Structure 1
């Protein structure tokens, strides 16, 4: 099956979303973009896509809203079709469970799990109707399977999204639609408090590669999963963390390994 070279990338105003959207444009995709608050950032991404010869459309988007799926519908109409959905938009928190208000829990889970469910559902309906297969790629986190102190809602939502992707992979495979996760570790983005270019200048002794990741290194994996080269890959999580998730067993001996919590 050959799906349309038309993609939707949520959270494309900066960071991983912007890098993924521009890479897809370089590979021939028209791209629908979403932005929550940074409309200017999304417009900058749209200009980058247009400079690469693609069409770009921008829609406001609140992943925690029950209308999240409707944004996909609007972008599909503007794109006149859909081949790939990339869910990047998300949020986090640093609050211990004993201090975590239910409202904050609900906001994080709604943003990181409810929103992707609605966008996946809406996109899948379009892809099935199109009859040409397609790709759904959800950006989770290494905390899809590794716990982190102070991130109960975030970890729960990312674990849930990982499992949701596997169920979708089972249900949508007969339609030629693959569903996979990309799980970044510490990446130089606004969410981690770093500028993109800092990825190559910050030292991380506890990471086998010794530094944070660059957004383009995550986008390249997304690009692979969106391509015909990944036609026989579904229900999988691709970890992009420089080997960090292998280091948990070394945490007992910081002097020898230099390990520290990321």
Structure 2
């Protein structure tokens, strides 16, 4: 029988000492790995195509005093996710926090898309996330000390976007999976939350190694710029930490206010006229 959390254990005693972060070779995943790195912690980094990027993440993690484990993960075969989580958790001696950052997307009208492309995005963004989440939750339950699971969704968990049908479907589905998991896992001391970024300066948005503060005018975003991956990572680090024990089943939108502008205005408005009555 799986162990159960000790109800007398104070919430502040929780620490994410053993962490898996999928898709952490660049962007939000990399920033999250670095944000969670600290002496005495183990950070598992996964990559799909960028082995060099994963190695650079590992260097930064180790510079912060944590130990780094690097593994390749291809979630177009979703069950690889479950196997990897099991193997890495066993190697680390357990699992305290799981962050689901792996993802892919499209820029293609629904009517022009073939089924293979649809399935690829759904497999990575939803099926793969489910397999990792399920395996991670089982490991946390076996450990008996609770845990934290955070899924990186998107503002398109909440609002549609033309040209992103499978991405929106997957992120919307993942957002509801988070809520179901939050209900089912709470009795084991495991919280499950989502972080929904807006436009972030990462390779996925074609802005690799670019500062969001340098000459980027975004009239349709109230703060008038893209976000920095470290701003997302800071939110994830909080949700994985001791002070977030009462946050469960939430989706934290981190988008500079973009969703307040409507589902497409954030990246499509070309002037600041909306700021004036």
Q: Same fold (TM over 0.5)?
A: yes
Within the candidate set 133, 136, 154, 2:167 is matched to 154
Residue 198 of structure 1, CA deviation: 2.6
Instruction: Kindly report which structure 2 residues correspond to 1:76-95, keeping only aligned pairs within 5 A, or say none.
Output: 76-95=89-108
- 8 Å CA contact 2:159–2:263 kept in 1: the answer is no
Q: TM-score, normalised by structure 1?
A: 0.94
Which string of whole-angstrom CA distances, capped at 9 and with x for unpartnered residues, describes residues 179-219 of structure 1?
00000000000110113433112110111100000000000
Pairwise mapping of residues 15-26 of structure 1 onto structure 2 (< 5 A)?
A: 15-26=27-38
In the TM superposition, what whole-angstrom CA distance separates every residue of 1:7-42 from its partner, at most 9, and x where no partner exists? 000001000000000110037531011110111111
Mapped contact 1:170–1:235 kept (Cα < 8 A): yes
Q: Distance in 1 between matches of 2:26 and 2:40?
A: 20
Matched with 2:143 is 130
Distance 1:154 1:89 in 2: 12
Q: Give the C-alpha shift of residue 248 in structure 1.
A: 1.5
Partner residue of 2:73? Answer: 61
Aligned length: 259
Q: TM-score, normalised by structure 2?
A: 0.89
Alignment of 1:104-123 (within 5 A): 104-123=117-136
Q: Which residue of 2 aligns with 1:195?
A: 208
Partner Cα distance (1:214, 1:28) in 2: 27
Gaps of 5+ in 2: 1-8
Q: For residues 145 and 97 of structure 2, what CA distance do their matches in structure 1 show?
A: 11
Name which of structure 1's ranges 193-202 and 123-132 shifts more when overlaid on structure 2.
193-202
CA contact (8 A) 2:15 2:242 kept: no
Residue 81 of structure 1 deviates from its aligned partner by: 1.3
Q: Which runs of 4+ in 1 moved over 2 A?
A: 1-4, 26-29, 195-198, 249-256
Match of 1:247 among 254, 261, 265: 261
Q: Does 1:29 align with 2:19?
A: no
Q: CA deviation at 1:43?
A: 1.2
Does residue 50 of structure 1 match 2:50?
Answer: no
2: CA distance between counterparts of 1:64 and 1:224?
A: 30
In structure 2, the CA distance between the partners of 1:250 and 1:58, relative to structure 1 (3 Å rule), is closer
Q: 1:179 to 1:249 in 2, by over 3 A?
A: closer
Task: Describe the shift of the 1:250–1:164 C-alpha distance in structure 2 as closer, same or farther (beyond 3 A).
Answer: closer
Shifted more, 46-55 versus 120-129: the winner is: 46-55
